[in-house]
Amino acid sequence: MRPGASFTLTANGGPIAGAAALSADNRSVTFTPAAALPASTVVTASVANVLSQQGQAFPTTTWQFTTAAPAVQQSTIFGSLVPQVATTSDFMPVELGTAFTVSQAGNVTGIRFYKGAGNTGTHVGSLWNSAGTRLAQVTFTNETATGWQTATLATPVALATGQTYVVSYRAPNGRYSSTQGFFNQTWTSGVFTATGPNNGRYRYGSGGAMPTNSWNATNYFVDVVYSTTAPAQQQLAAPAPSSTATPTVTPAPTPTATATGTATPTPSPSPSPTPSPTQSGGLLCGLLRVC
Query: How is the chain split into domains, by residue range?
Result: 1-70+230-278+280-291, 73-229
Region of poorest pLDDT, from 20-34, 113-127, 259-273: 259-273
CA distance 197 to 283: 46
User: Counting Cβ atoms within 10 Å, is residue 223 exposed (0-12), middle (13-18) or buried (19+)?
Assistant: buried
How much is the average pLDDT of 31-43?
90
pTM above 0.75, yes or no: no
Of residues 131 and 52, which shows the higher confidence score? Answer: 131
Q: How confident is the model at residue 231 (pLDDT cuts 50, 70, 90)?
A: low
Beta strand 147-159 pairing with 165-171: unpaired
Average confidence score pLDDT of the chain:
82
Domain 73-229 homologous superfamily, CATH:
PHR domain (2.60.120.820)
pLDDT of residue 274: 36
pLDDT of residue 240: 41
Helix (H, G, I), strand (E, B) or coil at 240: coil
User: Counting Cβ atoms within 10 Å, is residue 39 exposed (0-12), middle (13-18) or buried (19+)?
Assistant: middle
Q: Are 169 and 113 in contact (CB under 8 A)?
A: yes
CA distance 274 to 142: 30
Q: What is the sign of the dihedral through the CA atoms of 260, 262, 267 and 273?
A: positive
pLDDT of residue 289: 40
Per-residue pLDDT tens digits for 45-104: 999 888 777 777 888 899 999 998 877 889 999 999 999 999 999 999 999 999 999 999
pLDDT of residue 112: 98
Per-residue pLDDT tens digits for 198-207: 999 999 987 7
How much is the average pLDDT of 184-196?
97
Helix (H, G, I), strand (E, B) or coil at 31: strand
How much is the average pLDDT of 3-30?
87
pLDDT at 271 over 90: no
pLDDT at 150 over 80: yes
pLDDT of residue 57: 82
Q: Are 133 and 246 in contact (CB under 8 A)?
A: no
pLDDT at 28 over 60: yes
Q: Are 75 and 226 in contact (CB under 8 A)?
A: yes
Beta strand 165-171 pairing with 94-102: antiparallel
- E strand or H helix at 89, and its extent? none
pLDDT of residue 258: 36
Q: Are 276 and 92 in contact (CB under 8 A)?
A: no
CA angle, corner 201, sides to 99 and 216, nearest 5? 110
How much is the average pLDDT of 155-159?
96
